Amino acid sequence: MSRQYIIRKILIMIPSLLGISLVLFTVLAMAPGDPFEELATNPAIPPEVRAALRAKFGLDDPVWTRYLHWLVAMIQGDWGFSFVSRMDVDKLILQRLPVTLIVIGSSQIIAILVALPVGVLAATRPYSLFDQVANTLAFVGFSLPTFFTGLLFILVFSIQLDWLPFVYRANIDATGWQFYWEHIKQSIMPVMVLGLFQGASLVRFVRSSVLDVIKLDYVTTARSKGIGERKVITKHVVRNALIPVVTLVALQLPIVFGGAIVTEQIFRVPGIGSLLISSMLSNDTPVVMAVTFVIACLVVFFNLLADIIYGWLDPRISYR
């Protein structure tokens, strides 16, 4: 993989980031309402003061200058102040981000651990009973909305069986192994909800991708050389079949972040998803804008990562 390829991909990322910022800003600018609306009804504040405030914060400037001001502020990390949490927005987000990334990361691992063996097995025995059951379960899996699976999990594992806690606690007063065990125990349900939902859609991708590869000539060659079936599948088929799956995992990321918002809300995980919802419900606009922007940037960044991995796995791509 050439360095040129990576640089080209990074350069392509810039316009999409600009595009996303433009979309977000347009949405914000089109939104009705005025930050100083409340002052208009306050008799203690004369209209001149309000006009001066508007001028000071640049609300009367043309749209383009406002966009540029906003963009520069976002790039410089000056994301505003959260009046609800009483702290800077960037600090608040940095505090919440690791939890979200851990939840999403481990749920992706679960999804791949489930989808890979099931998808490969289903594709090696197409139309068998296993294949049909797996496919039907996959349909069930991605037709169950995450908020309902989450509630079902709570109902079964917390209320009926009383195995797992259903509220995520950030400060656990335990030390050593106990501390880690409690953390793992309270993460199981959010991670499983997200992971199984992702896994269900991945199974079908893996299956069709393996089916595309399994009948190619080089696989027949490998078989006719007397390599065992298991080795043919793991060494020859799966390796190539997984290349498109990498892109698909990346393309699914916007959905994963959506799912993370829902699961964080249900299990009260203190990540950026629950931060987004709580700041919407308490009208904390700077936080809302910043979180949306961060999630959008993360999605673009992971897409870039997938492109680079794709180029590394399949060198033909990077010479196009």
Partner 1 sequence: MAGLTPASLTADAPAPAVAAPRKNRPTSPWQEAWRRFRRHRLAVASGVVLLLLIAAVTLGPFIWPVAINEIDFAAKLQGPSWAHPLGTDDLGQDLLARLIYGGRISLAVGLAAMVVAVVVGVVVGALAGMSAGWVDAALMWLTDLFLALPLLPLLLLLMYLFRDHFKRMFGVEGGAFILIVVVIGGLRWMQVARLVRAQFLSLREKEFVEAARALGASKLRLVVGHILPNALGPVIVAGTIDVAAAIIAESTLSFLGLGFPSDIPTWGSVLRDAKDYLDIAPHWALFPGAAIFLAVITINFMGDGLRDALDPRRVL
Provide the binding-site residues for partner 1, judged by CB under 8 A: 15-16, 19-20, 23-24, 27-28, 31-33, 126-127, 131-132, 135-136, 139-140, 142-148, 151-152, 154-155, 159, 204-205, 208, 211-212, 215-216, 251, 253-255, 257-259, 261-262, 265-266, 276-277, 280-281, 288-289, 291-292, 295-296, 299-300, 303
Torsion of CA 180, 101, 110, 211, to 10 degrees: -160
Residue with Cβ nearer partner 1 (26 or 65): 26
Residue with Cβ nearer partner 1 (112 or 288): 288
Provide, rounded to whole angstroms, the least separation between the CB of residue 98 and partner 1.
18
* Per-position DSSP letters for the chain, written without gaps between them: --HHHHHHHHHHHHHHHHHHHHHHHHHHHHSS--TTHHHHT-TTS-HHHHHHHHHHTTTTS-HHHHHHHHHHHHHTT---EETTTTEEHHHHHHHHHHHHHHHHHHHHHHHHHHHHHHHHHHHHSTTSHHHHHHHHHHHHHHHS-HHHHHHHHIIIIIIIS--S-SS--S-----HHHHHHHHHHHHHHHHHHHHHHHHHHHHHHHHHHHHHHHTSHHHHHHHHTT--HHHIIIIIIHHHHHHHHHHHHHHTHHHHHHHHHHHHHHHT--SHHHHHHHHHHTT-HHHHHHHHHHHHHHHHHHHHHHHHHHHHH-HHHHT-
Residue with Cβ nearer partner 1 (56 or 150): 150
Residue with Cβ nearer partner 1 (118 or 288): 288
Provide, rounded to whole angstroms, the least separation between the CB of residue 191 and partner 1.
18
At position 80, the amino acid (one-letter code) is: G
Residue with Cβ nearer partner 1 (2 or 220): 220
Provide, rounded to whole angstroms, the least separation between the CB of residue 48 and partner 1.
28
Provide, rounded to whole angstroms, the least separation between the CB of residue 263 and partner 1.
11
Residue with Cβ nearer partner 1 (23 or 94): 23
Residue with Cβ nearer partner 1 (44 or 161): 161
Provide, rounded to whole angstroms, the least separation between the CB of residue 24 and partner 1.
8
Say how far residue 230 (Cα) sits from the centre of its chain: 34
Provide, rounded to whole angstroms, the least separation between the CB of residue 296 and partner 1.
6
Provide, rounded to whole angstroms, the least separation between the CB of residue 54 and partner 1.
19
